[in-house]
Amino acid sequence: GAASVARGAGTFGAAHLLSSVSEPGLEKTAEMAPDALRLYQLYVRGDDAFVADVVSRAEKNAYAAFCLTVDTAHYSRRERDIAKRYVRESRLRATGGDFQKGLEWRTVKMVKDKFKIPLILKGIATAEDALIAVDHGVEWIYVSNHGGRQLDHGRGAMHVLPEIVEAVKGRAKIMVDGGICRGTDIVKAIAAGADLVGIGRLQCWALAAAGEAGITRMLELLEDEVLRCLGLLGATSFAEVDKSCLHPATATNAPSVFSAFPLFDHEPYRY
């Protein structure tokens, strides 16, 4: 479904980040969505020669930036999947995951030395790593905790974002994702210092509901919510919002042992 998402985003005027585990793949998505602003995100499944080959292909196919995923050294214990007995097809076969485990800063240096395409690191969760990335010439710091599915009890992306913004001090652009489901969420992220905001689950729902047209419509709804939010804040553009607009709020619902399993009927247990 990646090509449909890329086309839908392109119709609206938003960028699309293509994951290397998405179909129909790097070349086919470029062929099917030639006018979209496309970025490419790699899960490393080979050595430096493998990475260099993928970067070269991304450049050849007019991707605007190249992204290395850096927060999947291990595949996390996803208890919701375990409870539902769901196993991704890619987990059933050897996929070269040891190369992701062995990913080092030298790979970042290799990409920067050999290629001109802007580089993004996705999965940055500390100010310290953000500074190392900037020192390596990385143009985009992508703040993410992989949808809260990787490091158990790790901090949320919006929680750590202000620290990373302060550390980077404008030396790189900053992206963020994680639970962005409303236009107001986008405004919060921009106000906290992000330059670009990513959405994941919404595109899946929109694609399932109405295909390519659903992607465009989903983005139109977000845009409408963004405009209403900005207007009610008394702002006419993102440039007029900053961290002074943000204040801490107590959680509406206290977390419980079943917070990660909202689809289960717990009283009584049913299987």
Q: Give the span between the Cα atoms of 216 and 38, in whole angstroms.
A: 15
Q: Of residues 16, 74, 136, 146, which has the active-site annotation?
A: 146
Q: Nearest 5°: phi and psi at 185?
A: -65, -40
Residue 1 to residue 168: CA distance in whole angstroms: 35
- Between CA 139 and CA 65 the distance in angstroms is 9
Kindly give, in sequence order, each residue whose CB lies less than 8 Å from that of residue 66, ignoring residues fewer than 6 positions away. 39, 40, 42, 55, 58, 59, 111, 115, 117, 118, 119, 120
Two tokens, residue 46: 């080979």
Tokens of 199: 């959405």
Beta bridge partners of 19: 41
Q: How far apart are CA 257 and CA 170, in angstroms?
A: 40
**Beta bridge partner(s), residue 38:** 16
Q: Is 266 a catalytic residue?
A: no
Among all residues, which ones are annotated catalytic? 146
